[in-house]
């Protein structure tokens, strides 16, 4: 059995990771991180995920996981990207972030509003007496497009304007179980499970 620490203070995220990985990986255990939050000053999802996972591994001495995710909009050259949670500035506000993206896309026609949710998960094993520290990352994308008006009350962030490929509903109109099965985080967790089982 391997116990990992998840570098987040968000219990919902811990539950989501645990729910998916414990089904896929025999003997998998996940605990919540109780240490200090590092400064996320990386310039990519991968860099920020590694910063968080390395900090948790160092603080606890245990194998650690962390994710970093956000929305990449084609017409905004991949923005808001790593700044998705704070796109409209501080304090963080889903409503203001969403409103700003809609404002920035106001003149962009329907066919040019492609976007993808991106999730990178980093896994870090701390050094032991017999082996050096090791780490790996996985990246998954959930592609779709952005609509002009928010729809739906499930989900959060940019979900009310994000329509996944193959769907005519926004992510916020999907049932939570549907969204969790399709999302960028679910796809990234499936890749992590493959690595852990391998």
Q: Please, which contacts does 80-83 make with residues 24 or more away whose CB atoms are closer than 8 Å?
A: 81/45, 81/118, 82/42, 82/43, 82/44, 82/45, 82/48
Q: Is the pTM of this model over 0.95?
A: no
Query: Hey, where are the domains in the chain?
Result: 2-197
Active-site residue, from 34, 67, 68, 159: 68
Say how far apart CA 108 and CA 128 lie, in whole Å. Answer: 53
pLDDT in tens, the chain (198 residues): 689 999 998 888 898 899 889 988 989 999 999 999 999 999 999 999 999 999 999 999 999 999 999 999 999 999 999 999 999 999 999 999 999 999 999 999 999 999 999 999 999 999 989 999 999 999 999 999 999 999 999 878 999 999 999 999 999 999 988 888 899 999 999 999 999 987
Rounded to 10 deg, the angle between the 184-197 and 11-24 helix axes is 50
Q: Are 60 and 35 in contact (CB under 8 A)?
A: yes
- Which overall architecture, per CATH, does domain 2-197 show? Alpha-Beta Complex (3.90)
68 part of the active site: yes
From the list 20, 17, 135, the residue with the least C-alpha distance to 69 is 17
Report the side by side order of strands in the sheet with 64-73.
28-32, 2-6, 64-73, 114-125, 134-146, 162-164
pLDDT for 51 equals 98
Task: Measure the CA–CA gap between 6 and 141, rounded to whole angstroms.
Answer: 21
């Amino acid at each position: 059995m391997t116990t990992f620490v998840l570098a987040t203070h968000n219990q919902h995220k811990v539950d989501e990771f645990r729910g998916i990985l414990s089904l896929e990986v025999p003997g998998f255990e996940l605990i919540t991180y109780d240490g200090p939050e590092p400064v996320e000053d990386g310039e990519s999802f991968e860099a920020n995920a590694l910063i968080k996972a390395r900090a948790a591994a160092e603080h606890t001495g245990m194998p650690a996981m962390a994710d970093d995710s956000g929305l990449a909009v084609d017409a905004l050259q991949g923005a808001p990207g790593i700044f998705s949670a704070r796109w409209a500035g501080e304090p963080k506000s889903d409503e203001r972030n969403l409103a700003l993206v809609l404002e920035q896309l106001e003149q962009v026609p329907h066919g040019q509003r492609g976007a993808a949710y991106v999730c990178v998960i980093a896994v870090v094993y701390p050094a032991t007496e017999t082996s050096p520290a090791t780490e790996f990352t996985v990246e998954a994308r959930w592609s779709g497009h952005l609509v002009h008006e928010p729809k739906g009350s499930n989900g959060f962030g940019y979900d009310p304007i994000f329509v996944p490929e193959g769907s005519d509903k926004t992510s916020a109109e999907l049932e939570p179980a549907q969204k969790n099965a399709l999302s960028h985080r679910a796809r990234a967790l499936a890749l992590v499970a493959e690595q852990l089982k391998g």
